[in-house]
């Protein structure tokens, strides 16, 4: 009986690896095929890769994205979640972008790892119970500080809060100073792209 159980476990592991490999190929192809098409408030390719790697490295499983656009960053987050067994809630206020994001996520094979919500993030973010271990903020920049305030109590220990466009002048300096001054976080800025990502780990 013990040998049979071990055999079943081994077969199941092989099946999961095969499934994961096929999904990886599908996502990689989708990202490469559409690499130069993400112009509608989406993140650069390198920033998507950075967000993905943070999630996988830290085994995060409960993510929140504020600002879906048409889903480029969401694909990177969901792809990471497919590897950690997690899911990402993403919020978009524009119906056209929301619907295009769902179409893109479906084509990439990642829709099952996403809870895509259409509505005003100002209200939705407040209502979400959490907890979250990863957050990506990329919506209205003048509301960044309020998003941070609303989400902070819902963050797990060692969670990561990221914010986009912090190096290109689009985000108010007051937000950058506010987060950097928060002693509950260790904050750095990734400058691989011109936009920049503020990366804050909760202590």
Dump pLDDT digits (tens) for 81-139. 999 999 999 999 999 999 999 999 999 999 999 999 999 999 999 999 999 999 999 99
d(CA 134, CA 78): 12
Pairing mode of beta strands 155-164, 197-202: antiparallel
Residue 124 structural domain: 2-202
CB of 65 closer than 8 Å to CB of 105: no
d(CA 160, CA 168): 21
User: Any idea what the CATH number is for the domain that residue 128 is in?
Assistant: 3.40.50.150
- pTM (two decimals): 0.87
CB of 137 closer than 8 Å to CB of 163: yes
State what percent of residues in the chain have pLDDT above 70. Answer: 88
> What is the tally of structural domains in the chain?
1
Neighbour-count burial of 134, counting CB atoms closer than 10 A to its CB (0-12 exposed, 13-18 middle, 19+ buried): buried
pLDDT at 20: 61
Is there a cis peptide before residue 8, judged by omega within 30 degrees of 0? no
Q: Which residues contact 121 (CB under 8 A, 6 or more apart)?
A: 66, 67, 91, 93, 139, 140, 143, 147
Q: Which residues contact 79 (CB under 8 A, 6 or more apart)?
A: 24, 27, 52, 108, 110, 113
CB of 52 closer than 8 Å to CB of 27: no
Q: Which residues of the chain have pLDDT under 70?
A: 1-20, 38-41
The tokens for 22 are 């096929």
Pairing mode of beta strands 87-92, 62-66: parallel
pLDDT at 183: 97
End-to-end CA distance of the chain: 46
């Amino acid at each position: 009986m013990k040998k049979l159980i071990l055999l079943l476990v081994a077969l199941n592991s092989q099946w999961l690896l095969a499934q994961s490999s096929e999904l990886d190929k599908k996502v990689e192809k989708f990202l490469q095929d559409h690499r130069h098409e993400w112009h509608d408030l989406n993140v650069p390719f390198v920033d998507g890769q950075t967000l993905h790697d943070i999630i996988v490295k830290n085994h995060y499983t409960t993510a929140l994205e504020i600002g879906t656009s048409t889903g480029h960053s969401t694909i990177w987050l969901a792809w990471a979640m497919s590897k950690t067994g997690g899911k990402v809630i993403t919020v978009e206020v524009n119906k056209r972008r929301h619907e295009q994001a769902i179409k893109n996520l479906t084509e990439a094979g990642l829709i099952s790892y996403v809870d895509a919500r259409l509505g005003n993030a100002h209200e939705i973010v407040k209502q979400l119970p959490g907890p979250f271990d990863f957050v990506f903020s990329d919506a209205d920049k003048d509301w960044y500080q309020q998003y941070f305030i609303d989400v902070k109590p819902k963050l797990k220990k060692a969670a990561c809060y990221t914010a986009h466009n912090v190096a290109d002048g689009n985000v108010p300096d007051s937000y950058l100073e506010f987060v950097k001054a928060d002693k509950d976080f260790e904050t750095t800025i990734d400058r691989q792209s011109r936009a920049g990502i503020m990366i804050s780990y909760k202590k």
